[in-house]
Amino acid sequence: MNRPNVVVFFTDQQRWDTLGLHGNPLELTPNLDRVAHGGTHFANTFTCQPVCAPARSCLQTGLYATQTGVFHNGLALREDAVTLAHCFAQAGYRTGYVGKWHLGGVDPGFFGGQEPVPPERRGGYDYWLAADLSEFVSDAYRTVLFDGEGRPVELPGYRVDAYTDAAIRYIDAHRREPFFLFLSLLEPHFQNHRDDYPAPDGYAERFAGRWMPPDLAALGGSAHQHLPGYFGMVKRLDEAFGRLLDALKSLGLHENTIVLFTSDHGCHFKTRNDEYKRSCHESSVRIPAAACGPGFDGGGRVRQLVSLVDLAPTLLDAAGLAVPPHMSGRSAMPLLRGGGPSAPASVWPEEVFIQISESQVGRAVRTARWKYSVSAPDGEGFRDPDAALYEEEFLYDLQADPYELVNLIGLRSHREVAARMRERLRDRLRQAGEREAEIRLAPEREGPGHRRAFPEEIDQ
């Protein structure tokens, strides 16, 4: 069989529970749900950094943000970083990038003054139609990207459609040679200059006053104001995803093209801090992920916890390419039915590790049942890659409290759970190459109605 083509359909700030597969009743994602049913659904996927640029650096390199050097927004990916584009190009692939990059370290140029990303900061992609921060050079119905020569290009249509049309044109032009295409959409990210979620005309109205995720219903935030537009954006994204799949089918490429759909992080609508992300809660860190094509068709539902940092090695492994040994992530292919031989599924990690920057320097580990998070005190390490001191921030029992409404940190009934999760976190800090840090324990407190966690529950 010919080497498979690879397409990444990457959204920005999309919650996992926008999918019908995760219980959303609004039929926002029929195309993605169909792909996940027939292909592979990574049902428990998490970003390793709930901030735009750091998350992108992790997906491009298979490394954690402290290893890429892009640990907060505004930093450029190192020019010597080994990216997906480099790996595929070395194997003879043509590589293309369309959409938002956010790894060029370019001045945002608020509201139109942004410069193009210089060639040496484009991660090795040979075709380029992108902007570093596309939210500052475009709007919902005014799409501007820069071509390979750095010239601004205006594209027609709603921004989701404009990006997708450009990606389809790339696929059509390269259908006779193996290609790796990364399509990075801005939606459902908010439009910064007016703090709004501009859906296509007529779409927000379809979702006003309807279903709301339980955490948003309980905590409020800006959800009542913004959720209809956000859902309208997600609906149009899924329609665009369907059009891209149709294009592959019409060109006879669908049986030999891997397509991965995922996002950089989620959105909590000002319920956990004063904006939309930059927290270690599920609403910020849990993301959708599904794939189809060679190696993924019939893969089923993967229940293990998968990190964004694992997706780069997974794509390389699925395409039959060697995974660079320096990557911190690992291929998830062995978790699929009939998956590859690179590692037995029995040794897959039982937790995912999350780093966070900018609004705080924080760290978290999440197992199937528990979430444990620490944060540097005010003034300790902000804007630094890591910290020498952290304080316990929260502990959640996700089995009893999946939307994280009851913080158990400091409760005497859960001291053993916190201690075990703290050791898991220390192990992950060491594995990621971070410095040894002190973790200051939360003050002990009583929790009426909270029974002691049994020993057999601690490692779940």
> pLDDT tens digit string along 298-313?
999 999 999 999 999 9
CATH 3.40.720.10 fits 5-345, yes or no: yes
Residue closest to 152 by CA, chosen among 137, 139, 169: 137
Q: Write the DSSP assignment of 345-393 as a string of letters.
A: GGGS-S-EEEEE-SS--EEEEE-SSEEEEEEPPTTSSTTSSS-SEEEEE
| Domain residue ranges in the chain | 5-345, 360-458
The token pair at 122 is 């484009």
- Asked whether the predicted pLDDT for residue 344 surpasses 60, the reply is no
Give the pLDDT confidence score for residue 455 in this predicted structure.
65
Are 206 and 230 in contact by the 8 Å Cβ rule? The answer is no
Least trusted range by pLDDT, from 89-98, 129-138, 345-354: 345-354
Q: What is the average pLDDT value for the chain, to the nearest integer?
A: 93
Q: What is the pLDDT of residue 1?
A: 52
Task: Quick: pLDDT tens for 237-286.
Answer: 999 999 999 999 999 999 999 999 999 999 999 889 888 788 999 999 99
pLDDT score for 235: 98
Residue range 114-128: mean pLDDT, rounded: 96
Q: How many angstroms separate the CA atoms of 18 and 20, rounded?
A: 7
Q: How confident is the model at residue 378 (pLDDT cuts 50, 70, 90)?
A: confident
Reported pTM: 0.95
Could you name the CATH architecture of 360-458? 2-Layer Sandwich (3.30)
Residue 438 pLDDT > 50? yes
pLDDT for 330 beyond 70: yes
pLDDT band at 227 (very low <50, low <70, confident <90, very high): very high
pLDDT given at position 453: 73
pLDDT at 276: 76
pLDDT for 448 equals 66
Is 27 exposed, middle or buried (CB count within 10 Å of its CB: 0-12, 13-18, 19+)? Answer: exposed
- The answer, yes or no, to whether residue 193 has pLDDT greater than 90, is no
Query: Which residues, other chains included, contact 53 with Cβ-Cβ below 8 Å and sequence gap of 6+?
Result: 70, 72, 73, 74, 75, 102, 103
Residue 116 CA to residue 137 CA, distance in Å, equals: 10
Q: Has residue 343 got a pLDDT over 50?
A: no
The answer on pLDDT for 445 being more than 80 is yes
Q: Count the Cβ atoms, other than its own, within 10 Å of residue 329.
A: 22
How do residues 8-65 score in pLDDT, each as one tens digit? 999 999 999 999 999 999 999 999 999 999 999 999 999 999 999 999 999 999 999 9
- Confidence at residue 282, expressed as pLDDT on a 0 to 100 scale: 96
pLDDT at 456: 67
Residue 407, pLDDT above cutoff 90 = yes
Taking residues 289-296, what's their average pLDDT? 97
* Residue 345 scores a pLDDT above 90: no
pLDDT of residue 107: 87
Pair 95, 6: CB distance under 8 Å? no
Which of 71, 111, 117 is CA-nearest to residue 354? 71
Q: Note the pLDDT of residue 426.
A: 96
Alpha-carbon distances of 2 from 45, 93, 168, 176, 320, rounded to whole Å? 29, 12, 21, 11, 11
SS3 107: coil
d(CA 138, CA 306): 33
- DSSP readout, 224-284? HHHHHHHHHHHHHHHHHHHHHHHHHHHTT-GGGEEEEEEES----TTSSSSSS--S-SHHH
Looking at residue 341, its pLDDT comes to 47
Residues 187-199, mean pLDDT to the nearest whole number: 91
- 5-345 with 360-458: one CATH topology? no
Which whole number is the average pLDDT over 397-402?
95
pLDDT of residue 340: 46
Residue 174 has pLDDT above 50, yes or no: yes
